[in-house]
């Protein structure tokens, strides 16, 4: 039987790009506060309202939370922090043991001079957006420990389509993940039996050729592997 998955933030900047890679495997319950850009049916759910999240989550096997607000200093707290709390609270009440969470990487500005970095301590800094997502992470971690939830949190820096030919005149930022690799990672997160401590945060990137950051933790625990040697698209040709 296919798992039923509540997909919060399905109409955002990331959600629509994930749907095609997940719907062959899961019964998705798309939810957001705005219409889907591709015209797909969307359940109206405001993540800042716990009652709406609770009702939307009834009868599902897992929840994916890809909601985010960056610019508004008030609304970003309600979506990023309280929204994460509403998700884990609803999951614990309804007995939903599986959550996929997402957020920004919070190590680059500190660790960019280094190489071959994996699971290092986070350094969110003093930026408001980064702090809201760091608070959400700690809420997820606490609920996983207290309520026996299994939560996988992916962090990344940039997302986009894979190259389809050699790339000229531009480079790739560290922590970039292409849609196909994110599809794979989400499926692995929804299927893995458990993660250590009930909560784990995973660096997610497709381009590892620069040697700065790696996906070793995601490989060992989830079985994640970038689907191609994406750095070949950026190979310098004399």
pLDDT of 45 > 70? The answer is: yes
Q: What is the largest CA-CA distance in the chain?
A: 60
pTM, full prediction: 0.93
Give the pLDDT band (50/70/90) at residue 238.
Answer: low
Predicted pLDDT of residue 54: 98
Predicted pLDDT of residue 237: 61
Predicted pLDDT of residue 112: 81
Predicted pLDDT of residue 169: 76
Report the alpha-carbon distance of residue 225 to residue 216 in Å, rounded: 9
Predicted pLDDT of residue 127: 80
CA distances from 44 to 31, 85, 86, 219 (A): 6, 19, 16, 35
Residue ranges covered by each domain of the chain: 4-234
Average pLDDT over residues 202-218: 88
Long-range contacts at 172-177 (CB < 8 A, ≥ 24 apart): 172/207, 172/210, 172/230, 172/234, 174/108, 174/112, 174/205, 174/207, 174/210, 174/212, 174/213, 175/105, 175/108, 175/203, 175/204, 175/205, 175/213, 176/205, 176/206, 176/207, 177/204, 177/205, 177/206
Q: Mean pLDDT for the chain?
A: 91
Asked whether the beta carbons of 166 and 233 are under 8 A apart, the reply is yes
* C-alpha R_g of the chain: 17
Report the alpha-carbon distance of residue 124 to residue 225 in Å, rounded: 26
CATH label, 4-234, candidates 1.20.1250.20, 3.40.50.720, 3.20.20.80, 3.90.1200.10:
3.40.50.720
Over the stretch 30-40, which tens digit does the pLDDT of each residue have? Answer: 999 999 999 99
Backbone phi and psi for residue 156, each to the nearest 5 degrees, phi listed first: -150, 175
> Helices 83-94 and 128-147, interaxial angle, to 10°?
10
Give the pLDDT band (50/70/90) at residue 128.
Answer: confident
Over the stretch 68-119, which tens digit does the pLDDT of each residue have? Answer: 988 888 899 999 999 999 999 999 999 999 999 998 887 777 888 888 878 8
Over the stretch 147-200, which tens digit does the pLDDT of each residue have? Answer: 999 999 998 888 888 888 887 777 777 778 999 999 999 999 999 999 999 999
Q: Which of 55-59, 84-88, 146-150, 208-212 has the lowest mean pLDDT?
A: 208-212
Report the alpha-carbon distance of residue 154 to residue 221 in Å, rounded: 13
């Amino acid at each position: 039987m296919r798992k039923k998955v509540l997909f919060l933030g399905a109409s955002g900047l990331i959600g629509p790009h994930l749907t095609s890679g997940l719907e062959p495997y899961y019964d998705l319950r798309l939810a957001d506060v705005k219409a889907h850009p591709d015209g797909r049916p969307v359940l109206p759910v405001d993540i800042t309202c716990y009652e709406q999240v609770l009702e939307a989550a009834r009868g599902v096997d897992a929840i994916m939370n890809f909601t985010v607000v960056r610019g508004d200093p008030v609304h970003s707290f309600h979506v990023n922090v309280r929204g994460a709390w509403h998700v884990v609270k609803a999951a614990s009440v309804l007995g939903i043991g599986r959550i996929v969470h997402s957020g920004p990487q919070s190590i680059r500005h500190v660790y960019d001079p280094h190489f071959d970095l994996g699971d290092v301590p986070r350094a969110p800094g003093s930026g408001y957006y980064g702090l809201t997502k760091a608070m959400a992470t700690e809420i997820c971690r606490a609920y996983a420990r207290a309520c026996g939830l299994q939560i996988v949190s992916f962090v990344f820096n940039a997302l986009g389509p894979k190259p389809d030919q050699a790339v000229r005149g531009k480079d790739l930022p560290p922590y970039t993940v292409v849609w196909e690799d994110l599809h794979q990672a989400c499926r692995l997160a929804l299927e893995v039996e458990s993660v250590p401590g009930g909560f784990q945060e995973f660096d997610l990137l497709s381009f590892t050729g620069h040697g700065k950051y790696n996906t070793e933790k995601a490989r060992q625990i989830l079985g994640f592997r970038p689907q191609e040697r994406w750095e070949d698209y950026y190979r310098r040709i004399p």
